[in-house]
C-alpha cells in the first residue's frame, strides 16, 4: 500500500531523533502538536511501531510499563543506561551480560535466545542535584 502520509512519518522520525532520551508516543505527539503539524496520535504510534520493527528505533518498557522509543546511534545489539529523572540515555555494551545470557539459555536447551537489559538510575548531574536538594542542612 502506498504511504499517503510519508511526510508525517518522516516528521515523527525527526522528532524522535531530536529527543534527548527515550520518549513515549504521547510525549512525541505533544511535541508535534506544538508545531501544528496535524499529525494524529495514531499515526505517531504506527510510525514508532514500524520504526521499531524495522530496527530504526529501539523500544523498551519504562518501570511504569509505558512503551518508550529512541532512535539510537548504535546499530546492532546494545543496552541502555537511562536517567529516570532527566531521561539522559547512554548506549552501552554488555559483554558480561551477553556471555551470561548465552550460557543461561544454553543450559536450559534454549536456542535463538534474545534478551533486553536496560539500567534505570540517576545520572551524575541528577545525583548531584538530589544531594544538593537534600542538603547538609537540618530539613
Ligand atoms: Zn538503543
Ligand atoms: Zn539525569
Ligand atoms: Zn545484550
CA of residue 114 to ligand 3 center, whole Å: 8
10-27: b or e for each residue (b if 16 or more CB lie within 10 Å)? ebbbebbeebeebbbbeb
Cell numbers for 17: 531523533
* Number of compact structural domains in the chain: 2
Is 72 annotated as a binding-site member?
no
| Cα distances (Å, whole numbers) of residue 89 to 99, 130, 133 | 23, 18, 23
Note the pLDDT tens digit of each residue in 16-60: 999 989 999 999 999 998 888 889 999 999 999 999 999 899 999
Domain match, 111 and 134 both = yes
Regarding whether 107 and 56 lie in a shared domain, the answer is no
Enter the pTM of the model. Answer: 0.80
Q: Which-ligand-closest: CA of 126? A: 2
Q: Same domain, yes or no, for 137 and 80?
A: yes
Domain hosting residue 90, numbered range: 76-139
Tell me: do 25 and 62 sit in the same domain: yes
65 and 20 within one domain: yes
CA-closest candidate to residue 85, choices 54, 63, 107: 63
Residue 20: predicted pLDDT: 84
Those residues with Cβ within 8 angstroms of residue 101's Cβ, 6 or more apart along the chain or in another chain: 113, 115
Residues of the chain above pLDDT 70, percent: 94
Q: Can you tell me whether residue 61 is helix, strand or coil?
A: strand
Confidence at 3, pLDDT banded by 50, 70, 90? low
What pLDDT, in 10s, does the model give residues 48-95? 999 999 989 999 988 888 899 999 988 889 999 999 899 899 999 989
Question: 34 with 81, same domain?
Answer: no
Contact 76, 114 (CB under 8 A): no
Q: Tell how far the Cα of 86 is from the centroid of ligand 2, in angstroms.
A: 4
Instruction: Find the 80 Cα to ligand 2 centroid distance in Å.
Output: 14
Where is the domain boundary, 53, 71, 89? 71
- CA 117 / ligand 3 centre spacing (Å): 7
Amino acid at each position: 500500500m502506498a504511504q499517503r502520509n510519508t511526510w508525517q512519518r518522516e516528521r515523527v522520525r525527526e522528532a524522535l531523533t531530536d529527543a534527548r532520551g527515550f520518549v513515549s508516543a504521547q510525549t512525541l505527539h505533544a511535541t508535534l502538536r506544538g508545531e501544528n503539524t496535524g499529525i494524529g496520535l495514531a499515526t505517531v504510534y504506527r510510525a514508532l511501531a514500524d520504526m521499531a520493527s524495522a530496527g530504526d528505533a529501539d523500544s523498551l518498557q519504562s518501570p511504569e510499563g509505558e512503551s518508550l522509543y529512541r532512535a539510537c546511534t548504535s546499530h546492532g545489539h546494545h543496552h541502555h543506561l537511562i536517567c529516570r529523572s532527566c531521561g539522559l540515555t547512554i548506549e552501552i555494551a554488555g559483554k558480561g551480560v551477553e556471555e551470561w545470557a548465552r550460557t543461561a539459555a544454553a543450559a536450559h536447551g534454549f536456542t535463538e535466545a534474545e534478551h533486553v537489559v536496560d539500567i534505570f538510575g540517576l545520572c551524575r548531574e541528577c545525583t548531584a542535584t538530589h544531594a544538593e536538594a537534600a542538603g547538609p542542612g537540618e530539613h
